[in-house]
């Protein structure tokens, strides 16, 4: 009897973990992340993003809250987006995202944190995506843009991060002042 109960518990555990693994796939994590962003649910978005991404999501949330009206978050609406097949390399993955009926795509990076896939939406990753897009446009439009981008890439990211943190603290104090 004890062996039967143990066997049933093990089968149940395997079934539950097997079902939950579907939600942990990189493309599902990305879809859930964008679903949360489209609803401006930043706490849920944080659950699907890396720890380093929290400060960027906090800044976006703060900027939205400082505005008198909500911003149009339809750009994050996952029904307008197409998610490519993830390219997994160990503990990192890339999922290409494109707007439907568009030739443009963005390679969104995911990394594993505590064994789960998380979207990398931190300042460094977003800056790299932006620079790569500008660089691609630069190749189309000439070499001058490439030279300018090289000087931007040589900027120390730590000082940029410190400056962003400092700005976030100042915005936070402004919001507290406005709340009082």
**What are the tens digits of pLDDT across the range 73-88?**
666 666 778 888 899 9
Q: What percent of the chain has pLDDT over 70?
A: 68
**What residues are paired with 110 via a beta bridge?**
93, 119
The number of distinct structural domains making up the chain is 1
Domain carrying residue 91: 25-179
Whether the CA torsion 81, 115, 109, 84 is positive or negative: it is negative
Contact (CB, 8 A) for 50 and 119: yes
Q: What are phi and psi of 171, to 5 degrees?
A: -65, -35
Model pTM score: 0.62
- pLDDT tier for residue 3 given thresholds of 50, 70 and 90: very low
Residue 6 lies in a domain: no
- Is 16 within a domain? no
pLDDT tier, 113 (very low <50, low <70, confident <90, very high otherwise):
very high
Using DSSP bridges, classify how beta strands 87-89 and 81-83 pair: parallel, antiparallel or unpaired: unpaired
**CA pair distance 98, 84, nearest whole angstrom:** 8
Report if residue 152 sits inside a domain. yes
- Tens of pLDDT along 19-64? 444 448 999 999 999 899 888 899 999 999 999 999 999 988 888 8
Given this model, what pLDDT does residue 45 score?
A: 95
């Amino acid at each position: 009897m004890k062996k039967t109960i143990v066997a049933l518990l093990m089968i149940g555990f395997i079934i539950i973990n097997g079902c939950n693994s579907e939600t942990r796939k990189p493309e599902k994590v990305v879809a859930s992340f964008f679903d949360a962003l489209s609803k401006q649910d930043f706490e849920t978005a944080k659950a699907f993003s890396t720890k380093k991404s929290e400060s960027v999501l906090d800044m976006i949330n703060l900027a939205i809250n400082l505005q008198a009206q909500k911003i149009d978050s339809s750009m994050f609406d996952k029904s307008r987006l197409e998610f490519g097949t993830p390219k997994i390399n160990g503990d990192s993955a890339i999922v290409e995202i494109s707007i439907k009926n568009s030739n443009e795509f963005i390679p969104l990076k995911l990394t594993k944190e505590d064994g789960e896939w998380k979207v990398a939406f931190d300042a460094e990753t977003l800056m790299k995506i932006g620079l790569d897009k500008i660089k691609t446009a630069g190749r189309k439009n000439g070499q001058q843009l490439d030279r300018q981008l090289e000087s931007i890439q040589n900027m120390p990211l730590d000082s940029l991060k410190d400056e962003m943190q400092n700005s976030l603290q100042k915005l936070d104090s402004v919001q507290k002042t406005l709340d009082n």
